[in-house]
């Protein structure tokens, strides 16, 4: 049996989860439950729906899809350098030299 001083130092016996692991397990269980309920709702309730998409709603759906695609493209462009560095294709120091002789400026 582990004494109180071991619990204070954060040493949990094997087979028991620590606080961070318990939180992660709880989050996974919550996400799994939400996903299961969403799948059940789509599989059981949605097939009986008799819906009509009018032209304005269809236009909004097309706009949503196009805006989402553009957003993903911009995000991909912004993070492409990080992805390349992650896989070792480039380093953070390797930047193209400036041709105008001015010191580089950091623009936000």
**Overall size of the chain counted in residues:** 108
Region 84-90: mean pLDDT is: 83
pLDDT at 32 over 60: yes
Residue 99 has pLDDT above 50, yes or no: yes
Angle at 68 between CA 66 and CA 71, to 5 degrees: 110
CA separation for the pair 5, 13 (Å, rounded) = 13
Residue that has been written with the tokens 């002789």 in this structure: 101
**Residue tagged 């193209």 (tokens):** 96
Structure tokens at 3: 């004494």
C-alpha to C-alpha distances, 104 to 50, 66, 107, nearest whole angstrom: 60, 35, 9
């Amino acid at each position: 049996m582990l004494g109180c001083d071991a619990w204070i130092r954060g040493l949990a016996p094997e087979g028991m989860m620590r606080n961070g692991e318990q939180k992660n397990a709880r989050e996974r269980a919550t996400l799994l439950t939400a996903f299961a309920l969403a799948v059940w709702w789509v599989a059981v309730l949605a097939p009986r729906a008799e819906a009509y998409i009018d032209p304005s709603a269809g236009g909004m759906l097309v706009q949503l899809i196009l805006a989402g695609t553009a957003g993903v493209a911009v995000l991909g462009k912004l993070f492409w350098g990080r992805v390349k560095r992650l896989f070792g294709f480039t380093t953070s120091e390797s930047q193209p030299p400036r041709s105008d002789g001015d010191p580089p400026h950091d623009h936000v």
